[in-house]
Structure 1
Amino acid sequence: MPMDLSRFHATFLAESREGLDAMEAGLLDIESGRADAETIHTVFRAAHSIKGGASTFGFSEIAALTHVLETLLDEMRAGKRAPETESLSALLASVDVLRALLDVAERGGEADHASVQATQQRLENVLSGGAGAPTPAKAAQAAAPAAAEPTGWNVVFKPHPSMFMSGNDPLRILRELQRLGDARTECHFDRLPGFADMDPFEVRLWWEVSIDGALKKAQVEDVFSWVEDECDLEITPQKSMTVAAPPPAAAPAPQPVSAAAEPQQVSPQPSDTPPVAAAASAGGATEGTLRVQVSKVDALINLVGELVITQAMLKQAGSELEPASHERLLAGLVQLERNTRDLQEAVIGIRMLPVGSVFSRFPRLVRDLSTRLNKQVRLKTVGEATELDKGVIEKIADPLVHLVRNSIDHGLETTEERRAAGKPESGNITLAASHQGGHIVIEVADDGRGLNRERILRKAQERGLQIPENASDSQVWELIFAPGFSTADQVTDLSGRGVGMDVVRKNILALGGEVGIESHTGKGTKITVRLPLTLAILDGMLVQVGGETFVLPLGFVIEALQPQSENVRTVQADGRVLKVRGDYLPLFSVARLYKIEEKAANEPMVVVVESDGKRLALEVDALLGQQQVVVKNLEANYRRIPGISGATILGDGRVALIVDVGGLARGVSNQASAS
């Protein structure tokens, strides 16, 4: 019964996408002059692995394109071709087409065959010498007498004993050799152990194969492309009329990019892991990895969340017990709380990914946009190792792409404008990530012209937007977040369509984050995005309001205090402010904000919170303490409630609402602007 390979498709697709990311990064390094021989070899190996997997699983269009791509890369690593602009552009274009083909393989649908053919033809044109001057190695090769093709090849194929464990079948490889030409195969049994020691999961046979025909060595090597790291392999030519080429006369041979032109045994790379395996790297000090479906991790996080709720219930029940007579039980509950938190952090850590997985897509974006706009742009990334929840990473990518596009299109000047302003001709875009408390902060900064205050105000007046009197710069910058707002005079595929910063803010707010702008004329603009580390769990301060309990995310809390009556002032009829160390902060009753029946508190408390640089004071009846809570999506289970970002279940089984501090701060700011 033939093996069903479709169940391994997901692994192949995931590893192929990783390979394409590595290829794109390597090609950009080569283009910028930062590459070495190892970089070119890494790009080649990625293409080689994708081709082998595509051939194994029957994705013929992917295999055909990567075969041409691999041939071009092989010439580069052997020093036969210089990595000139046209060949690198063709290789980068092929990466885009391969990504699209992988999407089709995963989701179904019809591939863009015309685009695939055009890209393949472009690569073949480069290979045939249609672009770029020949390198010295190619010139010497052309001057040398041509060697006759061998009449056939002798192959010694000795699989490693563990080949079966990767899902590869030596017999399939032998059948592939039979298709190349007239093949004579001899099987050897000298590695077989005694009958009692035989293991059906180990390969102990090996073969010698003689193939007759005018074949190129690459055709024979392709058969073993997926198992070359899992076998000992020798491919030697049969006797032929070979004319030896004379050595070069004067000039020394160019230094090749790779150590040798002939394929050699190399250490397995992560991208070479066959898709049939669970992707665990073995041996030495290398840390193993295991591919697990995201749905399984999410289910584990949900179970841990329920465990946290149960632990909170036990803690609350234990607080009612007599300590002296239940000492061991209470000590166990303390240990349970500690273990639960450790387990929680470990499970959340499984979903944490370095933000560099998002940053890695921007070198290509910057390269393409700067070329289209005829601008010189340098991209700098900082803090790529900063970790963020996978769910947040997936959703923040598109807003960041829009911000970077805006920085290049609107922010950075042309080369002539920068020269006239006394700036370096190359503009700078900086992507930086860092941890601040329980949040991650991502900054997109440029050293361009900065926001044009007068132009924004003029466009806002034309659109009938409400503009505060004597508006500060920060209030003016807020106007660009209005729906449909754009200062572009012409509509292009990059800007001017009125779908921009408002969508960016909406997507960031949906993640429980914030976005702010800082800009200086002639010096540039910095956009700061503040996001929660995870969407599943947060540290919160529990407060009592009337008969209800609310959760204030601890990352927004500055301090808690008991206000003195002389520090409270009434403004504008029913508005109030609280004097805190010389500053007057807007003071709000949480009970009134959420229309809860107020209970007379003897000594009300105030919690000072801050969001996006705006501080306000929230009046509550009592502080109940700090607690790590599991966030439940209120909108998915009920409906969206203004001023509420989610809900959680307390230890006594009651539901507590999580306050949207950012939304409250923005509401206060809008009220101040309107007044």
Structure 2
Amino acid sequence: MTIDMSQFFQVFFDEADELLAEMEKLLLAVDVSAPDAEDLNAIFRSAHSIKGGASTFGLNDMTEVTHVLESLLDKIRKGEMSLTSEHVDAFLSAKDILKMQLDGHRLGSAVDQDAVGDVRMLLQSLSHESDHPAKPADPVVVDHSDTHFQQTFKIEIAAINDVDASALMSELGLLGLISRENCDPGKAIFHLQTNESKDDIISICSFILDPDNLNITLESSVPHSSAKKTQSQTEEDLGYGFFEPLDAMFPPLDAATETSAKTETPAPMPVLTQESTADKKNPATKKETEKHVASQESSTIRVGIEKVDQLINLIGELVITQAMLEQRTRDLDPILNERLLGSVAHLTRNTRDLQEAVMSIRMMPMDYVFSRFPRMVRDLAGKLGKRVELITYGASTELDKGLIERIVDPLTHLVRNSIDHGIELPATRAQAGKSEVGKLSLSAVHQGGNIVIEVSDDGGGLNREKILAKARQNGLTAPDSMQDAEVWQLIFAPGFSTAEIVTDVSGRGVGMDVVKRNITAMGGVVDIRSAMGFGTTITISLPLTLAILDGMSIKLGEEIYILPLGFVMESLQPARSDVKEVNGKGTVIKVRDEYLPLIPLYQRFDLEPKFVHPSDGIVVIVEVDGKKAALFVDDLVGQQQVVVKNIESNYKKIPGISGATILGDGGVALILDVSALLRSNK
């Protein structure tokens, strides 16, 4: 029997991605002056796991880099060498190289071999092994000197190449002390001293080779009494109470706990176990720990996003069908059809619960976005000669996957702007009486049906006069009477930049307008608060998902349209005296001493209206980016949750329309693009 290893490649790619991300997170948080032992062990384990997987699949380029990397890490974690900031920089560079190599194997992207060679030489020089390049096939030796093994197995393998044999030796070495006999090419014989069972050995070997080529025999075993004595001695050495309950070793995580990733003096990561002392001396404890972790990992499965999208589409169709059934049964006699109506009501409740459950599958924590910024902040701050501390709040807050992927670029630009334009140089901050280390915070929190994301810094703040002067220079209308909130919005104008020097970081004025446009396209809004000398906060408000929308059904003539509820402030029937004609500016309506522009929707969509004067119909007040307007409609039909369908991909872009939905009667209703309607009303 031959095992097709290609089916496991995607699993390795996904796991390697996660391990690299975890390695970077730990490296950015490590305290160089007093590194935590468990952090160093965790970084080493990540490198070792990637090496083992790469070797298994014959990805020798990754094996070579990880071998040199883990050799240096091993010296540091054993105390043979002190950790320095130069080491951390080298490890982060190695992580980047491994990610590049991984993408090369997975996506076929280009790999800079010169950069790979440079990193290998750097790691070798740091470990004082540049004159003796490390061999990628060398197995990793795990320190089991304090462990008492009860049995020795002889493991004979036929039909195995040297690469697989080396990979297998590394994996089996984690179970105990292992040695290898010299034998004929294509074969391998190991002797393993361990406390694990024969089945554990088989499970590891079966991942790499055909079980039919495997022969395991028990060479020796420590008598039960001796084993008992060994265990007793170990307990005496460690003292009573060492074996803590699993609940104490793995306390439940508080969802509200905030994380902090610092580029200067980061706090050490929380310690769950100490492998260097407890696990090595007590294999039983380590085994129980691994079982506990394994039970946690088994509670999740990997599912392709295309399958989730298909499931959501089917649920959307089910919601539409349920709405049709509900509408068809509204005219039935409730007494004669009591059981049928009861069943339909039950179906409605179940459909809503199912819809919410399926939609939650697409929700991802904001940590997916936040986790990529510590490295960027560290590198950019160092490049600009600044000291920046990055703090994140609400990383567990969830957002739809589609929105999370689209919010990455806008947030990246805002973070870069805060470091470049907002936070001052250490000397400047010291002169102003501030800490030399600037604070940059990212936060995410749910508010109703939206998620609010904030990028905040304690830098110099926005300069009102400088922005006004630049706006006038660019030909924008910028009177001195403008409110601060209106002045801050000027930085979102296309081509606007107050940077005096164009660099590779900023100064070209091609960012903030794109940020706002992208966020608006997602149905979100952007707001800025700033105080000179105290910093700037940029707030982004987004809907939790784009797949389902809470909307208000409105009627224009004989047509039904959907107005997104998030933009609606109120609806009213105005008095005739409140409607005024303004020369050159169209019609306005007075609402509590405030004049708002009136947008007759029937004119926009070339429809025959039921009413031609606003006082005969209904006016809906909407607000986008702090700007209000009144939409004139014939009637309000009701409020409902609708499944959004894309029009542009199947037809074409329609001005003032963002999508469509299917109503309960099977008819199609268009969803209004409120932002576009207000922008075009000039």
Compute the TM-score of the two structures, normalised by the length of structure 1: 0.78
Q: Where does residue 604 of structure 1 map in the other structure? A: 617
Whether 1:521 aligns to 2:532 is yes
Write the distance in 2 (CA, Å) between the matches of 1:455 and 1:43.
Answer: 47
Displacement of 1:64 in angstroms is 1.4
Q: 1:433 to 1:357 in 2, by over 3 A?
A: same
The letter of the residue matching 2:216 is: W
User: Contact conserved, 2:181 with 2:189, CA < 8 A, in 1?
Assistant: no
- Which residue number corresponds to residue 386 of structure 1? 397
* Alignment of 1:563 onto 2:581: no
Provide the residue aligned with 1:292 in structure 2: 303
Distance 1:118 1:294 in 2: 37
Contact 1:608 1:617 in 2 (8 A): yes
- Inter-partner Cα distance in structure 1 for 2:190 and 2:211: 23
Q: Is the 8 A contact 2:502 2:508 kept in 1?
A: yes
Unaligned runs of at least 5 residues, structure 2: 131-149, 156-163, 173-177, 200-209, 221-273
Q: In 1, Cα distance between the equivalents of 2:82 and 2:428?
A: 34
Alignment of 1:185-264 (within 5 A): 206-207=216-217, 258-259=276-277
State the TM-score, normalized to the length of structure 2.
Answer: 0.77
Code of the residue aligned with 1:409 in structure 2: it is D
Residue of structure 2 equivalent to 1:651: 664
**1:629 corresponds to:** 642
Alignment of 1:576-587 (within 5 A): 576-587=587-598
| Structure 1 position 494, deviation (Å) | 0.5
Kept in 1: contact 2:32–2:85 (CA 8 A): no
Q: Residue type of the partner of 1:100?
A: M
For residues 337 and 157 of structure 1, do their structure 2 counterparts lie closer, same or farther at Cα, with a shift above 3 Å needed? farther
Q: Paired residue for 1:121?
A: 121
Shift of 1:201: 9.4
- 1:364-406 deviations in Å (ceiling 9; x for gaps): 1111111111111111111111100111111111111111001
C-alpha distance in 1, partners of 2:375/2:53? 25
Q: Does 1:448 align with 2:434?
A: no
Question: Given the alignment of the two structures, is residue 639 of structure 1 paired with residue 652 of structure 2, yes or no?
Answer: yes
Shift of 1:603: 4.4
> How many Å separate the matches in 2 of 1:106 and 1:470?
57
CA shift in 2, pair 1:184/1:523, >3 Å = closer
Counterpart Cα distance in 1 of 2:582 and 2:555: 26
Matches within 5 A, 1:304-343: 304-343=315-354
Contact preservation (8 Å) 1:78, 1:260: no
1:466-524 CA-partner distances (Å, limit 9, x unpaired)? 54674333333333223232222222110123321122223223322222322222222
Does structure 2 conserve the Cα–Cα contact (< 8 Å) formed by 1:281 and 1:289? no
Distance 1:120 1:263 in 2: 34
Which residue is equivalent to 2:428? 417
- Answering whether residue 45 of structure 2 is matched by residue 27 of structure 1, we say no
Corresponding residue number in structure 1 for 2:495:
484
**Partner of residue 140, structure 1:** none
Match of 2:139 in 1: none
Q: What SS does structure 1 have at the residue aligned with 2:30?
A: helix
Change (3 A) 1:267 1:20: farther
1:107 corresponds to which residue?
Answer: 107
- Distance in 2 between residues matched to 1:427 and 1:572, nearest whole Å: 52
Superimposed CA distance per residue, residues 303-333 of structure 1 (whole angstroms, 9 cap, x where no aligned partner): 1011111111111111222222222212211
What is the rounded CA distance, in whole Å, between the counterparts of 2:572 and 2:306 in structure 1?
A: 43
Q: Contact 1:76–1:257 (CA<8 Å) still a contact in 2?
A: no
Query: How many residues are paired up?
Result: 578
Counterpart Cα distance in 1 of 2:32 and 2:678 = 45
> Percent identity between the aligned chains?
51
Match of 2:319, as an amino acid? Answer: V
Q: Residue 349 of structure 1 aligns to a residue in which SS? A: helix
| CA pair 286-104 structure 1, distance change in 2 beyond 3 A | closer
Q: Distance in 1 between matches of 2:8 and 2:484?
A: 55
**Aligned ranges 1:424-435 → 2 under 5 Å:** 424-435=435-446
Q: Please say if residues 37 and 258 of structure 1, whose CA atoms lie closer than 8 Å, have aligned partners that are also in contact.
A: yes
Superposed CA deviations along residues 26-49 of structure 1, whole A, max 9, x for unmatched, are 111114779632222222222221
SS in 2 for 1:636: coil
Deviations 1:597-645, CA, capped at 9 Å, x for gaps: 2112884222222222333332221111111111112221222223222
The CA distance in 2 between the partners of 1:33 and 1:513, in whole Å, is 44
Measured in 1, the distance between the counterparts of 2:34 and 2:659 equals: 47
Is the contact between residue 153 and residue 191 of structure 2 (CA under 8 Å) also seen in structure 1? no
Q: Alpha-carbon deviation of 1:100?
A: 1.1
Change (3 A) 1:402 1:31: farther
* 3-state SS, counterpart of residue 15 of structure 1: helix
Q: Distance in 2 between matches of 1:462 and 1:308?
A: 53
- Answering whether residue 448 of structure 2 is matched by residue 437 of structure 1, we say yes
Contact 1:546 1:599 in 2 (8 A): yes
Change (3 A) 1:588 1:300: same
Letter in structure 2 aligned against 1:259: T
TM-aligned CA deviation for residue 79 of structure 1: 2.6
Which one of 415, 429, 432 corresponds to residue 404 of structure 1? Answer: 415
Asked if structure 1 preserves the Cα contact closer than 8 Å seen for 2:179 and 2:192, the reply is: no
Structure 1 residues 203 and 472, CA gap change in structure 2 (3 angstroms): farther
- Contact between 1:542 and 1:624, CA under 8 Å: does it hold in 2? yes
Question: 1:527-559: per-residue Cα shift (whole Å, max 9, x none)?
Answer: 122222112111111111122111111222223
The residue number in structure 1 matching 2:271 is none
1:186: how far off? Answer: 8.1
Tell me, in whole angstroms, the C-alpha distance in 1 between the residues paired with 2:406 and 2:21.
Answer: 19
User: 1:593 Cα shift?
Assistant: 3.3
Give the Cα–Cα distance (whole angstroms) in 2 for the partners of residues 203 and 555 of structure 1: 65
